[in-house]
Chain A
């Protein structure tokens, strides 16, 4: 088990530990623990060892090193890196090497982080189980017969298994928070605009955010503080209030108002999940928080609104995969139309094609108003619901997913059943608000259950403070999965 990322960086800075030794240990853990899990698509050994040596050299020379000095990290493979392939889990980018690093990669490396590998995902981040990866699924370290969630399933499994202490994922409709819930780790989707999307392979551009997966709330806060802030390469990125969380003193939550949305505790919610989330709310109430009931009246439409918008944006974003500039090109094309159509069809997976088709349909002449425009209007209704609810409370508490991790194949033949599993996470992306998930219990079968907290735009500090208070008063963190590093 790793000590915290914060502790690793402190040890490296004080020369109590060497970044190279820590890097070698992380690489060893990939070799030992990853084969049954398949969390990693690529290990970046030579790059990582060179970065770690540079951190050690800087420390030895008395030069300043950053807050992630020597911390081994994994990156979801839809985040562009020059030092490895970036595949997005797709055959169409199977050999793709980005000519640039994503802004988040530049920032974590400037802060001293050592990237040891790229992690598995549903193709182009489209999925909730990692079963849609063109390179085979990732397995859940708590039960190899079950999915780790998705689409950031590889990053979540790598952290849960103790291979790395910290990873980056991306969240378009829950793709950080749902796998965090399924694997028992901390996952944070920042406010839309908090983190630069430059170098994140686009899925739904008005929904996508990059965020941390960690083993503790303080480590998630530390990583967010490194990656957050305006970037001139992403005009939607902004400087919010700085992320501030002291790891040592558990924060005081007395007087904070926690809203429980009645629509998030209705039909379809697993009884064990409900009990674990309600027990967490009860604990926060004992710590002095005030619990109020709130209303999110348009919740019923969340999934339809989200999927129409996400698919429309995806169909537009994925038009760039045309066999011309990069990626797979069909060998059997006689003209330019065939080149586009065959290159795409030969190398894109079934779910990606379905979403491109539905998105194209929703944007096509004659259907645009009925589907896309109506979904955008409904999106405003959903955002208004949150604005009104968050005027009555400081944050919202709810489940992250309706059930614990499901079995392979359970939903993969029924696209709509898979979409319905995102019911509690997608509204945060539609409204642009931050969401934080951390473990709040286990099912009788020993599967982790996550608590989700949501707050107003740029109120990440409130989420972190309350979750830190919860974490300090529970010990779910101490449990280790059976299929991880001993």
Chain B
């Protein structure tokens, strides 16, 4: 059963067409890695899936329901998805604990005590239990991003959308964030992630999808797409990544 399915997604900003009809199906408990150069449309695709952008054509289906139908309440749909952004986007005026408990209490109406208990548990699992009372600016980038992931998980989403979650991090902090993503994936969370970490995609993803110029050129198991790419554009892209020492 597909948790998330994208059908013919088209998105333009003015006359700049960013997505030109992208199809992508994400099965439950699967991890899909979106790769592609900057400007290829990875982030826009995720933002469309999260209903943070209105698509210009095509459909987003969440658990089989067409959530791009304007009759659907987008706020209710977003409750069932978790999104983590490149720049963490923690709320700077709230403590770490309040960042994590905000959505469970304010959106899902769960009792505060229960939400706090669960949040503390989640923070303990990522080794940040002692930071619960701190404000985000006292945390390192890696710690902030891990809190952001926990914040997204706290609402028990059907699917987790990760938008280049390690791109803004110092290299030595990338590992701790990827380790958390790996753990979350191992527990069966359905994940779609835009990433530049090819090594990580190869190890963790079930499917790698290559976007180029707003078109999904090829997708398949990591060994196939990263090992024996069919398209010249994919080979070019991977060669550039290897040149940059990132594979």
Partners in one complex: no
B residues in contact (CB < 8 Å) with A: none
